[in-house]
């Protein structure tokens, strides 16, 4: 402190510069501006020397205690996301839930790596959830299991969501041949029955709740938003959720998350490890999805392996990338709807995986043993696959009973 002004410590100054850099990327580069701008501002405000914002009763303290500690903000964000989601592509091609399931393996795989690096189970699980490419799920799980690393986990999750166009294409091109990327897939022009569209969120809620009670808040709020959008009687509420609720909660969520990034908490050796493991989870999910697509193609199914990269929660960015890279090899190739189907199933899968991970961690306790990680990997992926398989099978049966057997929705043979 000088006689004229209060000066920051070197660590505080570094964090303030980091917050300003986030604001720059949000405004100039358009990287997730709705969230990174308030996060950046929160970092600046909380790291200013002797800032009253550090007090528990300050506005940032109140926003954190009311919105993050109670999981209120991420759950309200899910209501808005659910109102925006259109499940029609997945309902036309329910078999593509397989990619939404395999897209979650990065969560459990990076959890195991984090345990090997010395993180405890709760922190490892929170880091693994970055691989869902789903910011609200990452916040929800981390706030419950490991609030100490909430700032780095949230920043990593949203940063990688913004960088999807940079992260996924090299992996997609590396693991596929030009011939595989040019594979066309059959199209369906059928209309999804309105009754099925209205039943679908209820089906997901019930199956997810039975498989993972801890996923009920996540799935319940996501499907609540979708019920508002599909019921036909609550259009005004759906519009409010999409526009007003989404913007307002994102604003407060971002600045509250930014307020967790104090210099003494954020500038630690494990912060870079968190970012690295989050990237590993994201890359692992992308790679294994593409490899599954290659396997299905190799056994004679008419599947473009690129579709596997869309089995994450980064909707609709991953679906658009699949379309873009597929058209580089064949200008007439139209993969967008198939990729959107996998992308929507990835959104469902990520929320289900987050709930299942919470269930398994609460049951195991906060241990450091790798054995617990192996057990969670096996049981977690098994339950995710079972849940999405039940959802896909139920949709197929209901379509058949409604007289729309889903022509063109399967994976035909041939190349």
Mean of pLDDT values over 252-281: 88
pLDDT tens sequence across 109-148: 899 999 999 999 999 999 999 887 788 899 999 999 999 8
String of DSSP letters for 240-278: HIIIIIHHHHHHHHHHHHHTT--HHHHSSHHHHHHHHHH
Q: What digits encode the pLDDT tens for the residues 303-347? A: 999 999 999 887 778 888 999 999 988 888 889 889 999 999 998
Q: Specify whether the CB–CB gap between 275 and 110 falls below 8 A.
A: no
Residue-range domain boundaries for the chain: 37-49+63-178+196-401
Q: pLDDT tens across 63-85, in order?
A: 999 998 888 999 999 999 999 98
pTM of the predicted structure, to 2 decimals: 0.85
Confidence at residue 3, expressed as pLDDT on a 0 to 100 scale: 61
- Which contacts qualify for 163-167: CB closer than 8 Å, 24 or more apart? 163/31, 164/133, 164/314, 164/317, 164/318, 164/321, 165/317, 165/321, 167/279, 167/282, 167/283, 167/286
pLDDT confidence of residue 406: 44
* Percentage with pLDDT > 90 across the chain: 53
What is the chain's mean pLDDT, rounded?
88
**Mind listing the pLDDT tens digit for each residue in 214-234?**
999 999 999 999 999 999 999
What was the pLDDT predicted at 297? 93
């Amino acid at each position: 402190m000088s006689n004229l002004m209060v000066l920051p410590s070197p660590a505080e100054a570094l964090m303030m510069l980091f917050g300003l850099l986030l604001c720059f990327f949000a405004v100039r580069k358009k990287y997730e501006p709705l969230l990174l701008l308030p996060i950046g501002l929160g970092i600046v405000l909380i790291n200013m020397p002797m800032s009253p914002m550090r007090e528990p009763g300050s506005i940032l303290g109140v926003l954190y205690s009311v919105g993050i500690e109670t999981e209120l903000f991420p759950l309200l964000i899910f209501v808005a996301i659910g109102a925006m989601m259109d499940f029609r592509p997945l309902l036309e091609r329910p078999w593509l839930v397989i990619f939404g399931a395999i897209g979650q393996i990065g969560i459990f795989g990076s959890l195991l790596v984090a345990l090997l690096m010395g993180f405890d189970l709760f922190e490892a699980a929170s880091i693994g959830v970055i691989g869902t490419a789903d910011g609200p799920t990452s916040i929800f799980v981390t706030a419950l299991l490991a609030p100490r690393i909430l700032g780095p986990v949230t920043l990593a999750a949203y940063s990688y969501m913004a960088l999807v166009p940079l992260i996924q294409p090299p992996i997609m091109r590396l693991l596929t041949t030009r011939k595989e990327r040019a594979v066309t897939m059959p199209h369906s022009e059928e209309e999804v029955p309105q009754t099925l569209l209205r039943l679908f969120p209820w089906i997901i809620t019930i199956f997810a709740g039975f498989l993972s009670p801890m996923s009920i808040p996540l799935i319940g709020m996501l499907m609540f938003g979708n019920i508002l959008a599909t019921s036909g009687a609550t259009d005004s509420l759906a519009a409010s959720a999409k526009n007003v609720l989404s913007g307002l909660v994102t604003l407060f969520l971002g600045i509250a998350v930014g307020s967790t990034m104090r210099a003494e908490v954020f500038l630690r050796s494990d912060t870079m490890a968190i970012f690295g493991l989050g990237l590993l989870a994201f890359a692992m999910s992308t790679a294994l999805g593409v490899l599954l697509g290659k396997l299905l193609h190799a056994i004679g199914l008419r599947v473009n392996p690129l579709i596997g990269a869309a089995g994450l929660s980064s909707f609709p960015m991953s679906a658009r990338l699949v379309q873009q890279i597929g058209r580089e090899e064949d200008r007439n190739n139209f993969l967008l709807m198939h990729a959107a189907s996998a992308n929507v199933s990835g959104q469902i899968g990520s929320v289900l995986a987050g709930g299942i991970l919470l269930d398994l961690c609460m049951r195991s306790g906060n241990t450091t043993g790798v054995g617990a990680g192996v057990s969670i990997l096996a049981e977690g992926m098994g339950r995710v696959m079972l849940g999405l398989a039940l959802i896909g099978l139920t949709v197929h049966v209901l379509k058949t009973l409604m007289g729309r057997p889903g022509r063109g929705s399967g994976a035909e043979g041939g190349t």
